[in-house]
Structure formats: C-alpha cells, structure tokens
Amino acid sequence: MNGMSSEPNAGNDYLAAHVADLLRSYHTLTGKHLIASAEDAAKRAYDAPFVLLSHDGADDPLLTYGNLAAQKLFSMDWGKLVGMSSRKTAEAPERAEREELLRRVAERGYIDDYSGVRIAADGRRFMIHNATVWNVSDKSGARIGQAATFSEWQLLEG
C-alpha cells in the first residue's frame, strides 16, 4: 500500500506525500484547490468536513486513503477501509455503473458531476451527489490511481 498502512497522524506527517499527489493532481486537472492553503494541507485534508478517498491503479483497485469523513460515512476505521477493494463501496448491482464511471475518468482525466449509490460497512445505503473523481499522478507524472471527493450525500431508506 505504498507505506500507507498507518493511519495519518503527526508522526507520519499525515501522509503528506500522498496527499500532495492527490491535491496537485486535483488542481492540475480541475484548476481548483481542494484545500485552500498548502500549510498543513495533509492534516487539513484528513480532518476535512468533505469525503476524500483514493485507490491505486490495480485492475481491482484497493483503497489507499480515506479521510475521517470517509471513515465515518462508510462506517470503517482506517485499518478496515485502506486496503479494501474500492468496488466494495458499491453494492453489486451498482458496480457496472461504477466501472463505467472509472473508465470515463481514465479517459477524460476527471469528472465533476458524479452521483451514485454507495454502501457503508453497517449496511446503510446512501446517494452521493456532485462528486469529483480524478486521475492521480505522482510528481513525475506517472498515474498512480484515482481519487474522489464529495460533500453531499443523502441516506436512503432500507
């Protein structure tokens, strides 16, 4: 998992190198800043009120990052969330639609209008709205995965 098995904290600088890749890629592709200031950006991203997730570039991508808002929404702590197949965040009927989303992002670089149903570990289903999903590259420009952020979701009945 690229050294991200430990939950972000002051001792590991809140995984600043990985978060820098997420934020730089987001800015490069969208022209926007996800975190307003570079100072303490990794800690701000981890504590942010919006969801921020990333997964690697494998054929069956594994989650590599999930901030506190993501952990709370998906009802999983860092140890359960990171390393899990990202497809498991969607119910089986929603997975084909999720695959189409990831294909569109891979081709276009990012999308900023995604909505879809996701499922938490405790079985709660929720609809996310207006998510931005983008390709993540390292400093050298090599693609290392994809990330998503959203701040709007709605719990669904049953």
User: Domains (ranges, CATH) in the chain?
Assistant: 10-155 (3.30.450.20)
Q: Model-level pTM? A: 0.92
Q: Determine the average pLDDT of the residues in 72-76.
A: 97
Q: Is the pLDDT of residue 90 over 90?
A: no
Specify the pLDDT at position 1: 40
Q: Could you write out the DSSP letters of every residue in the chain?
A: -TT--SPP-GGGGGGHHHHHHHHHHHHHHHS--SSS-STTHHHHHHH-SSEEEEEESSSS-BEEEE-HHHHHHTT--HHHHTTSBGGGGS-GGGHHHHHHHHHHHHHHSEEEEEEEEEE-TTS-EEEEEEEEEEEEE-TTS-EEEEEEEE-EEEE---
19-67 pLDDT per residue, tens: 999 999 999 999 999 998 888 999 999 999 999 999 999 989 999 999 9
pLDDT above 70 coverage of the chain, percent: 96
